[in-house]
A and B are shown apart, each in its own frame.
Chain A
Amino acid sequence: MSKVLIIAEHLNGKLNSSTARCVTCAKAFNAASIDVLVLADAVDAIAAEAAAIDGVNKVLTIANPANAHALAAVYAPQVVAAAAGYSHVLAPSTTFGKDLAPRIAALLGVAQVSDIAEVLGAHQFKRPIYAGNAIITVEAPATATLVATVRTASFAAAGGGGSAAVEALNVSAELPTHTRFVELQQGKSDRPDLQSASRVVSGGRGVGSAENFAVIYKLADKLGAAVGASRAAVDAGYVPSDLQVGQTGKIIAPELYMAIGISGAIQHLTGIKDAGTIVAINKDSEAPIFEIADIGLVGDLFVLVPELEAALG
């Protein structure tokens, strides 16, 4: 029977919804128990959020000033100590989990399954390779601890209403001092979070400049949407890198995705293929984005987007 340990992702004292998505993944292989591990300096508020996720049996906490920031080299030995007796260690396939999980796997001497996109069994999964151009079925040995990252866009967040017990853990692990947090520059935005928003408006190279991106922001605000961007727009300096959607940026699955002035490179399409409805606005009727868009509109975005914003009243 599978005993699953999920590493909680959190920032500024708040649990990230990626944790509840990992719970859904674990439920998909009928795990006998699902525990969540919270490493932080102040664990209580985060643990309370995790305890409320439906399906969680127990929340384990390791409170330590050294855990104030998610440094993989500091977290990994503690996770390894906490993982004894578990058959599975899961983390979200976000930059947090991608940084941490392989370090845990290597310390345990086991392979890692990256980006679980579909569960076929407790040790059998589907995952994308080649930027999502192929989907492979992988089997991991049932005899070893399975370390894996979960492609969050593939699993809905488990609901609330749970009341799991919270338990403080004492682990003996030597924590390195060779890695030190300096600072985090966060985009200041009152808009919804790109990774969990139900609506996203993205701009690409066609937007043309950082100033012109105002047209994207205005439409997003009218829709209550998060703002995203293609790699081309980020590389050109129109918007910061944390807005990038695609193979090497964020993989998202909003109900509505509007791609504006985005041609639709395969690496971008990989990041949005699980979206509910994709709308594309582009002046080039041959743009690849129209191959996968549910609704396409050809024309000048600087005319159409303000018109759309006005039409939405």
Chain B
Amino acid sequence: MKILVGYKRVVDYNVRIQVKPDGSGVVTEGVKLSANPFDDIALEEALRLREKGVATDVIVATIGPADCQAHLRNGLAMGANRAIHVVTADAIQPLTAARALLKLIEKEQPDIVILGKQAIDDDCNQTGQMLAALWNRPQATFASKVEINGGAARVTREVDAGLETIEVDLPAVITTDLRLNEPRFIKLPDIMKAKSKPLETIDFASLGVESGDHLKTTAYAAPAKRSKGVMVKDVAELVSLLKTKGLV
């Protein structure tokens, strides 16, 4: 069984995002870049399925600029068998990403595609669902538990009402939620080993993907700040304030 993992590089989740003073974007120069945390969870799940003997081949794929190679090497060091780098200097939108990933699916014929449920930069939460639609295959989004039984996957999903379990026939797209697993740390010897693992580069233009970048971002702004409140010294003062505001 073959698993394809979407592995996006984003601004590290610990970076405090600053909007540029002229509103033309957020400051990305000199900030730390890392794998999207949900994608690390996706890769971890694929590796665990391989370790259980369910899968044999785990491929990490990214769509991004030329310097994403180091990022993919991290995915290989974590344990992926090989990597695919679709090279483009442009920041593409989810529909375009889904169309490009579909091209990789047609080429690689994976049984399972695992993506993060959302990337923590654009917070779109779209690509996995779009890919499943274009592929005309099932989607199991926001997964917190995945079990593979023969030709089907039983996936527990974190939904607003609680935990929903669905069964999907393979091949299928799964998107990960936070509690699916805890990704492993990369060990130094694995970084050395990763250097010799196969990393294929594909020019984005050569995929012949029709652009789905239909949205135009015209302005960036810092969020409205809540004004700083007051500190109270005890419960009595808290209760009297809440009463004044008519909240209790």
A interface vs B, CB < 8 Å?
Answer: 11, 71-73, 76, 94-96, 98-107, 109-115, 124, 128-141, 144, 176, 178-187, 195, 199, 223, 231, 234-235, 240-242, 247-248, 250, 255-256, 266, 273, 276-279, 290-298, 304, 307-308, 311-312
Contact = CB atoms under 8 A, between A and B. Distances in A.
Contacts, number: 249
B126 A112 contact: yes
A134 B223 contact: yes
Given A72-B129, A248-B177, A307-B235, A133 B17 contact: yes
Nearest to A223: B248
A278 B228 CA distance: 11
Contacts of B160: 94-96, 195, 242, 250
A178 B164 contact: no
B168 interface: yes
Contacts of B137: 178
A278 B238 CA distance: 12
B195 interface: no
A186 B126 contact: no
Contact of A139 (B120, B140, B216, B226): B216
Nearest to B118: A248
9 contacts: A130-B11, A134-B221, A139-B215, A140-B215, A180-B167, A182-B166, A231-B178, A278-B229, A297-B235
Contacts of B122: 129
B162 A185 contact: yes
Contact of B212 (A100, A111, A277, A293): A111
B93 interface: yes
A291 B117 CA distance: 30
Contacts of B164: 181, 183-185
Interface in B146-172: 154, 157-169, 172
A98 B241 contact: no
Interface of B: 11, 16-17, 19, 26, 93-95, 98, 117-118, 120-134, 136-142, 144, 154, 157-169, 172, 177-179, 212-223, 226, 228-236, 238-239, 241-242, 245, 247-248
Contact of A298 (B94, B177, B218, B231): B231
A242 B162 contact: yes
A304 B235 contact: yes
A138 B134 CA distance: 24
A182 B165 contact: yes
Nearest to B26: A134
Contact of A136 (B139, B217, B235): B217
Contact of B123 (A129, A137, A141, A184): A129
B131 to A, nearest CB: 8
Contacts of B139: 72-73, 99, 103, 179
Please provide the 3 A-B residue pairs with the shortest distance between their CB atoms, ordered closest to farther. Answer: A102-B129, A294-B229, A106-B133
Nearest to B142: A95
B129 A103 contact: yes
Contact of B168 (A140, A144, A179): A179
B138 A176 contact: yes
Contacts of B98: 106
Contact of A278 (B158, B159, B215, B226): B226
B95 A105 contact: yes
Contacts of A247: 120, 123
Nearest to B99: A106
A131 B120 CA distance: 7
A294 B238 CA distance: 11
Contacts of A292: 226, 228-229
Of B129, B166, B222, chain A has the most CB atoms within 10 Å of the CB of B129
A277 B179 CA distance: 30
Contacts of B132: 73, 103
B94 A111 contact: yes
Given A73-B132, A106-B130, A134 B222 contact: yes
B133 A96 contact: no
Nearest to A126: B221
A72 B215 CA distance: 23
B241 A295 contact: yes
A292 B133 CA distance: 41
B166 A296 contact: no
Contacts of A178: 137-138, 168-169, 172
B68 to A, nearest CB: 19
Contacts of A183: 164-165
